[in-house]
Chains A and B, each alone.
Chain A
Amino acid sequence: MSKRRVSRFSRYTGVRNRGINPQGFHVSQLKFYVLLLPLSVFMLLPIVFIFSSAFKPPDELFAFPPRFFVVSPTTQNFTDLFSKLTNSGIPVSRYLFNSVLITLVTVAASILVSSAAAYALSKKRFKLKNTLFTINNIALMFVPIAVTIPRFLVIQKFNLLDTFWVHILPMLAMPVGLFLLKQFIDGIPDEVIEAAQIDGASDWWIYLRIILPMIRPALATIAILTFQAAWNNADTSTLYINNESLRNLAFYLSTLTTTTTGANSVAGQGIAAAAALIMFLPNLLIFIFLQSQVMSTMSHSGLK
């Protein structure tokens, strides 16, 4: 954006390459760094913390006041964790496979369902439109854990207990996702869609080729959120699944740190820290992978 601006200025004033916003570093930018650097350190602290606590020996994990950085790093926690993993009845790869499959399908399907619904709610005209959005907003405010037990009855009625579907289906209708996506689609001017309609584009084409590319930052955000919800979801495995081989990794790792260690809670803490890091890494990876989608398209959404 600013490149364009620079060139416009240079045309009129003869200033070349040094517009209002310099491309490289300039002393006037110092104030940004002074403000943003300390704050960004705060933002990075949790990540540093999760890495450092995974390598903490037991005495440092229980130190009071809690220490932030690890002083004498050890891989003991990971050795403990892996020795537990090799002793488990069902191979860990099974849980891992379940988690990966569930997460991928959930993310893809929920993006499709929420974005299609958001498109309809934002740009189509039909009678129940506002009612539906209001209902969604009400659901948005309702505590999700309170519906787990009635949800169990629905799942039971449809014979979904102990199936893969029970991991995926309840996560598809994510009220927050619909809310955010609708807000983003609201920001797309109607003129864009009207122009496409005049050119003979079908609804499906408009949705796929115009709406989806224009809300890519929001889609990536929802993808990150859904990914985390699905990947870290241990509740479904606890409540709706009795078949051990259909449970996911999040559930398995949580059992390692709570029930089986029981008496030995000191080692449990170490394993928990290591497991938390292992569970967190995919979140970080998906973030790094999708952030470019969020950032790059943000600058040219909308009409200019």
Chain B
Amino acid sequence: MNGRSNNRREITLRTREALYGYGFILLWIVGFALFMAVPLVQTLNYSFNQVTVTASGINLEFSEWANYSRALFTDPNFIELLIGYTVETLVSVPIVLIFAMIIALFLNVKFRLKGLFRIIFFLPIVITSGPVIKELTAQGAASAPGIANIPAVVEFLATLPPALRSPVQYLLTSFILILWFSGVQILIYLSSLQKIDRSIYEAAAIDGASSWEIFWKIVLPSLSTATVVNAVYTVVTLSHFSENKVIRYIYDQTYDVHGGIGYASAMAFLYFGLMVILLALVYFFLMKWASRGTR
């Protein structure tokens, strides 16, 4: 922008468009490079080193894959935490998506007090980040510990094969917590529901489609993009949630005498790798479903 307008006539339209594009994104690039990209590369570097902080500065001692192998093969907690995280994420994502979709469908219909209900269901956005959730988890209110101790539930859990037991238990105890993660997702669904042209519904109704058929043939396929966005958003918020056990562990290890920065960096990268795999999984399934829906 600055000064570019002088030689505007000499450059092609496409270059101009590109320059404006870069102009709009420039601030972001600078901020991102400084505070995200550079530190990220530095973290990657740390993960291959034994890092010791001294009064004079930070000392690096190259240690190849030592930090990684320690996290994967020696550390008694880390793998356990990762498995727990994977199970929880794979259980939570479908529930959040389905719950958000159902609520959005309801909130898209006109009825009295709809506005109030929309606000209430959007409210979790101020709950899941910040002091509230900290206070809630500290007090043990985010889970429902009572449920897991009911004799019938205990017996039921005992009959399940071990592989299924922990997901089901997680589902029972943290159902409410999972629901609190669906504020933004409901909003995204609502906004894409409202983009569906009403005349499509009318045309379908005239052709004799029931509302059940309209949902499966019209509404669901047009929500496929929103579903992918929501899935990504859900995985990311669940993984970065400050009370997440893996995050807490990495944080503790950063300032731990036996852990250290290098070790924590390696764990962060392993966690990141797992997240990428999970996202790819979710993405793959949803894409498959979306392409089937539009066919």
A: residues with CB less than 8 A from B are: 1-2, 5, 21, 24-25, 29, 32-33, 35-36, 39-40, 42-47, 49-50, 53, 61, 65-66, 68, 112-114, 116-117, 119-121, 124-127, 129, 132, 135-136, 139-151, 153-154, 158, 169-170, 172-173, 175-176, 178-180, 183-184, 187, 203, 207, 217, 221, 224-225, 228-229, 231-232, 272-273, 275-276, 279-280, 283-284, 286-287, 291, 294-295, 298-299, 301-302, 304
> How many CB-defined contacts (below 8 Å) exist between A and B?
256
Residue among B34, B146, B254 making CB contact with A154, cutoff 8 Å: B34
Known: A66-B139, A170-B35. A146 touches B126 (CB 8 A): no
Determine whether the beta carbon of B236 is less than 8 Å from that of A45. Answer: no
In the complex, what residue of chain A is closest to B35 when comparing beta carbons? Answer: A170
Determine whether the beta carbon of B198 is less than 8 Å from that of A5. Answer: yes
A111 to chain B, nearest CB (A): 12
In the complex, what residue of chain B is closest to A178 when comparing beta carbons? Answer: B28
Report the separation of the CA atoms of residues A287 and B188 in the bound assembly, to the nearest whole angstrom.
17
Residues of A near B190 (CB, < 8 A) are: 298
**Is residue B101 within 8 Å, beta carbon to beta carbon, of the partner chain?**
no
**Is residue B119 within 8 Å, beta carbon to beta carbon, of the partner chain?**
yes
**Is residue B203 within 8 Å, beta carbon to beta carbon, of the partner chain?**
no
Residues of A near B272 (CB, < 8 A) are: 141-143
B250 to chain A, nearest CB (A): 6
In the complex, what residue of chain A is closest to B268 when comparing beta carbons? Answer: A146
Determine whether the beta carbon of A146 is less than 8 Å from that of B43. Answer: yes
Report the separation of the CA atoms of residues A27 and B192 in the bound assembly, to the nearest whole angstrom.
28
Determine whether the beta carbon of B135 is less than 8 Å from that of A276. Answer: yes
Residue among B46, B130, B146 making CB contact with A65, cutoff 8 Å: B146
Determine whether the beta carbon of A217 is less than 8 Å from that of B191. Answer: yes
Residues of A near B14 (CB, < 8 A) are: 125
B105-113, B150-158, B162-170: which lies at the A interface? B105-113
In the complex, what residue of chain A is closest to B111 when comparing beta carbons? Answer: A29
Determine whether the beta carbon of A142 is less than 8 Å from that of B268. Answer: yes
Determine whether the beta carbon of B191 is less than 8 Å from that of A184. Answer: yes
**Is residue B29 within 8 Å, beta carbon to beta carbon, of the partner chain?**
yes
**Is residue B84 within 8 Å, beta carbon to beta carbon, of the partner chain?**
no
For chain A, what secondary structure do more than half of its interface residues adopt (helix, strand, loop), or is it mixed? Answer: helix
Determine whether the beta carbon of B43 is less than 8 Å from that of A46. Answer: no
Most buried by B among A21, A113, A116, A304: A113
Determine whether the beta carbon of A221 is less than 8 Å from that of B146. Answer: no
Report the separation of the CA atoms of residues A29 and B107 in the bound assembly, to the nearest whole angstrom.
12
Residue among A65, A141, A203 making CB contact with B145, cutoff 8 Å: A65
Report the separation of the CA atoms of residues A32 and B261 in the bound assembly, to the nearest whole angstrom.
52
Determine whether the beta carbon of B112 is less than 8 Å from that of A25. Answer: yes
Determine whether the beta carbon of A126 is less than 8 Å from that of B192. Answer: no
Instruction: Kindly identify, within residues 69 to 109 of chain B, every residue whose CB is under 8 Å from any CB belonging to chain A.
Output: 103, 106, 109
Residues of B near A224 (CB, < 8 A) are: 125-126
Residue among B37, B111, B112, B236 making CB contact with A141, cutoff 8 Å: B236
A-B contact pairs, 7 of them (CB 8 A): A21-B111, A46-B124, A124-B21, A124-B24, A187-B192, A295-B115, A298-B187
Determine whether the beta carbon of B43 is less than 8 Å from that of A147. Answer: yes
Known: A116-B25, A126-B17, A173-B35. A44 touches B135 (CB 8 A): no
B2 to chain A, nearest CB (A): 13
Determine whether the beta carbon of B112 is less than 8 Å from that of A228. Answer: no
Report the separation of the CA atoms of residues A29 and B114 in the bound assembly, to the nearest whole angstrom.
11
A190 to chain B, nearest CB (A): 13
Determine whether the beta carbon of B21 is less than 8 Å from that of A120. Answer: yes
Residue among A143, A187, A203 making CB contact with B20, cutoff 8 Å: A203
In the complex, what residue of chain A is closest to B112 when comparing beta carbons? Answer: A25
Report the separation of the CA atoms of residues A112 and B34 in the bound assembly, to the nearest whole angstrom.
18
Residues of B near A176 (CB, < 8 A) are: 233, 236-237
Instruction: Kindly identify, within residues 10 to 36 of chain B, every residue whose CB is under 8 Å from any CB belonging to chain A.
Output: 14, 17-18, 20-25, 27-29, 31-32, 34-36
Determine whether the beta carbon of B28 is less than 8 Å from that of A173. Answer: yes
A185 to chain B, nearest CB (A): 11
**Is residue B281 within 8 Å, beta carbon to beta carbon, of the partner chain?**
no
In the complex, what residue of chain B is closest to A170 when comparing beta carbons? Answer: B35
Known: A180-B233, A228-B129, A284-B126. A132 touches B25 (CB 8 A): yes
Determine whether the beta carbon of B17 is less than 8 Å from that of A125. Answer: yes
B176-184, B212-220, B285-293: which lies at the A interface? B176-184
A236 to chain B, nearest CB (A): 12
Most buried by A among B28, B135, B194: B28
Residue among B121, B131, B184 making CB contact with A232, cutoff 8 Å: B131
Instruction: Name the 9 nearest CB pairs between A and B, nearest first.
Output: A124-B21, A146-B268, A150-B42, A117-B28, A150-B39, A120-B24, A126-B18, A147-B39, A173-B31
